Amino acid sequence: MISRLLLILTLFGLMPAVQAADSADATAVTVPMKAVRVGTHSYFVQGLPGAASTENQGFMSNAGFVITRDGVIVFDTLASPPLAKKMLGLIRKITKQPIKRVIVSHYHADHFYGLQVFKAEGAEIWAHRAAEGATRSEDAALRLAQRKEALFPWVDDNTQLLEADRFLEGDTDFEMGGLHFALRYVGPAHSTEDMAMMVKEDSVLYAGDLVFRGRVPYVGDADSRAWIGALDTLIALKPKVLIPGHGAPSRTPRTDLVFTRDYLQYLRTTMGQAARDFIPFKEAYAATDWSKYRSMPAFNESNRVNAYNQYLRLEQEGFTD
């Protein structure tokens, strides 16, 4: 009976459509996602804990959107086109306004792989000039290959690495639909091209990966001195709500910004002193008091790597703090 049905479908040219539908179902994400309102016009979706995996289907970072009377501004687009499509569906449940613009906080895979979905909606992509060419680099190709293995079928050969339509030279303010936006270049910090976005009327700050709330941030070999300065810039904006790149929103932004700043400063002080005194890293790490951070999520995954990379960086810099 089934073979007869397949024969009929084939004869009438219906099989490709059925296969296409099956393929679409295979790439649809099933992880929970909801749009959370954090201001009169501002929303975000919160990624799940942990690194990108088949368990969370790559949904491990945050993204946001702001609805104006003239269109929607999106901040980051998640880690795959199917995730972005699910986010777009949530936006469409709230408004039919066109998607006018996407702001890319930085070109790390979990924040921009969904760009093609919003580009297809007619959105213009903005990012900082320091990101120009990032999608064409060898590192970008290697990361895409890794993600195709780790997150197939949600990341596959159809996933496009899109560059910005407009590269910003630095801080940029703009107005849309009666709302005022302040884009602040806060790199090099977590990346060379870090951008944050303040929605002035809502006093909501989308901080990207300058803040990992409720967990130890991944610092790696980032410029920790510049990152500390960038956090001071965000503190001066005095937001009422902060949306981090990972983790829950903060209604006490200064506390969370200061926590991240102090963690970075602690890395610089302890590892810088060790480098200056020619103490081997293994010995310095073991002797450092990590009790304030040890119980936090991602400590085991991130802290030693952060400390080691900052030790090497400060060794090269010549510690001057």
Give tens-digit pLDDT for 283-309: 999 999 999 999 988 899 899 999 999
In angstroms, rounded to a whole number, what is the distance separating the alpha carbons of residues 181 and 178? Answer: 10
pLDDT tens digits, 97-129: 999 999 999 999 999 999 999 999 999 999 999
pLDDT band at 320 (very low <50, low <70, confident <90, very high): low
CA 85 to chain centre: 16
pLDDT band at 15 (very low <50, low <70, confident <90, very high): very low
Instruction: Evaluate if residue 7 carries a pLDDT over 60.
Output: no
pTM of the model: 0.87
Query: Can you name the residues that pair with 74 across neighbouring β-strands?
Result: 65, 102
The per-residue pLDDT for 214 is 79
Q: Is 253 exposed, middle or buried, given 0-12, 13-18 or 19+ CB atoms closer than 10 A? A: buried
- Residue 27: count of CB within 10 angstroms of its CB: 17
CB 281: neighbour CB atoms within 10 A?
16
In this predicted structure, the answer to whether residue 20 has a pLDDT above a threshold of 90 is no
pLDDT tens track for 153-163: 999 999 999 99
Q: Are 147 and 113 in contact (CB under 8 A)?
A: yes
Q: How many residues does the chain have?
A: 321
**Strand ranges for the chain from DSSP E:** 36-37, 42-45, 63-68, 71-75, 99-103, 124-128, 166-168, 172-176, 179-185, 195-199, 204-212, 241-246
DSSP designation for 48: P
pLDDT score of 27: 82
Q: How far apart are CA 28 and CA 86, in angstroms?
A: 8
- The sign of the torsion formed by the CA atoms of 218, 223, 226, 228 equals positive
Q: What percent of the chain has pLDDT over 70?
A: 91
**pLDDT (0 to 100) of residue 25:** 65
* Average per-residue pLDDT for the chain: 91
Q: How far apart are CA 147 and CA 141, in angstroms?
A: 10
Please report the pLDDT score of residue 221 as a whole number.
Answer: 82
pLDDT at 173: 97
Sheet containing 99-103: which strands, arranged edge to edge? Answer: 36-37, 42-45, 63-68, 71-75, 99-103, 124-128, 166-168
In the chain, the domains with their CATH numbers are 19-252 (3.60.15.10)
Q: What is the pLDDT of residues 25-79, one digit of tens each?
A: 668 899 999 999 999 999 999 999 877 889 999 999 999 999 999 999 999 999 9
Write the CB contacts of 251 (distance below 8 Å, at least 6 apart in sequence): 240, 241
pLDDT for 24 equals: 54
Model confidence at 14: pLDDT above 70: no
Pairing of strands 71-75, 36-37: unpaired
Q: Residue 217 — pLDDT band, cuts 50, 70, 90?
A: confident
The whole-number pLDDT of residue 19 equals 44
- Residue 44 is classified by DSSP as E
Reported as a pLDDT band with limits 50, 70 and 90, residue 212 is: confident
Over pLDDT 90: what percentage of the chain? 82
